[in-house]
Structure 1
Amino acid sequence: MQTQQRQKIPILQNQVVVFSKNYLPLARINIKRAIVLLVTGQAETLEFSSTQQWEVRSASVVLQIPEHIRLTSGNPERYWKSPAVNRREVFRRDGHTCQYCGSTKHLTLDHVIPRSKGGTHTWDNVVTACEQCNSAKGDRLLHEIPMTLRTKPKAPIHPAIAFAEQFWKEQQTIET
């Protein structure tokens, strides 16, 4: 009896990769959610050369749950709104580090093009800066002082795109 329980627990902890209708990897979900999507016809099995399958049994049914499934219903390109430009989201985007010196202490927000000089409060103009760098930059443009940005500020990308990029990077490292 204990042997059977040991085998069931790891299966339910496995993750399944869900692809959109047009084969964009969207997310990893637990195997229970994958079963629901497959049984209700909202998803179908995807088989790659290295696809793993898990056998799940109930009193009347034996299911083969694949490592990858593809949604068959729903809007393939869900509308996603970029989050508002605020302190928490800018810090998250910039990895909680000053975009001028790399410090992680006493962080503030800085407008690359100061608002007094026509700069806007948008994703491509707001960066994380430590108090020291923010004071040193002041109300000046970057070309007026010897400071450079570590990364170009940009709006966050759609979560599905970020997941897809990470998924394909992981696949490349597995294959090599």
Structure 2
Amino acid sequence: MGKVLVLNQDYSALSVCTVPKAFLLVYMNKAEMLAESPRHFLRTVSNEYPMPVVIRLNHYIHLPYRGVVMTRHNIFRRDGNRCQYCGTHDHLTLDHVMPKSRGGKTTWDNLATACKRCNSRKGDLTPEEAGMHLKQSPFRPSFLMFIRDFSGLAADEWMPYLGAKDRAYQ
């Protein structure tokens, strides 16, 4: 079954949940359905219900700042599972753009996906010193940007609630 975008009462993206969880929230009047699947339905023995795609909670949920957790997997997703130097999908590793030995930190802004060959070639140099150019500079994605552009979960029906595809959310 698919995933459902959950919006807070003010229409800000809150999370992603399963279809059964979303249906239960709607059924118990804790949320309203804003978008439903045109092709899929939830069926019981005697009834058919629309399958939720986007729901909005009826009460505002206060949450602290939500960021994307920096993990190897999430950095690969951000970079499209491609080496940021040569573009290959094979033998991927993480590269510190500014090498750790020269004070580079393990942060979103300093880590890029690199294949073993390019990472080894770059070694303890910066990309400029090694004569290598990044296809995209590393950056910290926002929660909205990550759901919309990198998670692989976003349905077309989610886009009006996740904003235009740009880096204004950073």
Which TM bucket (shorter chain)?
0.5 to 0.7
**Does residue 80 in structure 1 map to residue 71 in structure 2?**
no
Matched ranges for 1:31-70 at <5 A: 32-46=20-34, 67=52, 68-70=54-56
Task: Read off the aligned partner of 2:55 and give its amino acid letter.
Answer: I
Partner residue in 1 for 2:167: none
Structure-1 separation of matches of 2:3 and 2:96: 41
CA gap 1:137/1:69 in 2 versus in 1, 3 angstroms = closer
Provide the aligned C-alpha RMSD in A.
4.0
Task: Name the TM-score, length of structure 1 as normaliser.
Answer: 0.62
CA gap 1:37/1:97 in 2 versus in 1, 3 angstroms = same
Partner residue in 2 for 1:119: 104
Q: Which one of 160, 168, 173 corresponds to residue 159 of structure 2?
A: 168
Task: Name the TM-score, length of structure 2 as normaliser.
Answer: 0.64
Matched ranges for 1:3-152 at <5 A: 17-25=5-13, 26-27=15-16, 29-30=18-19, 32-46=20-34, 67=52, 68-73=54-59, 75=61, 77=63, 79-85=65-71, 87-152=72-137
CA gap 1:83/1:14 in 2 versus in 1, 3 angstroms = closer
Tell me which structure has the larger Cα radius of gyration.
1
Task: Read off the aligned partner of 1:22 and give its amino acid letter.
Answer: D
Gaps of 5+ in 1: 1-12
Q: Which has the higher helix share?
A: 1
CA gap 1:136/1:58 in 2 versus in 1, 3 angstroms = closer
Give 1:120 deviation, angstroms.
0.8
Structure-1 separation of matches of 2:23 and 2:110: 45
Give the conservation status (yes or no) of the 8 Å contact 1:24–1:164.
Answer: no
The percent identity for this pair of structures is: 34
CA gap 1:163/1:109 in 2 versus in 1, 3 angstroms = closer
SS at match of 1:27: strand
Give 1:100 deviation, angstroms.
0.3
How many equivalent residue pairs?
Answer: 152
Q: Which one of 132, 138, 144 corresponds to residue 153 of structure 1?
A: 138
Give the conservation status (yes or no) of the 8 Å contact 2:68–2:146.
Answer: no
Gaps of 5+ in 2: 164-170
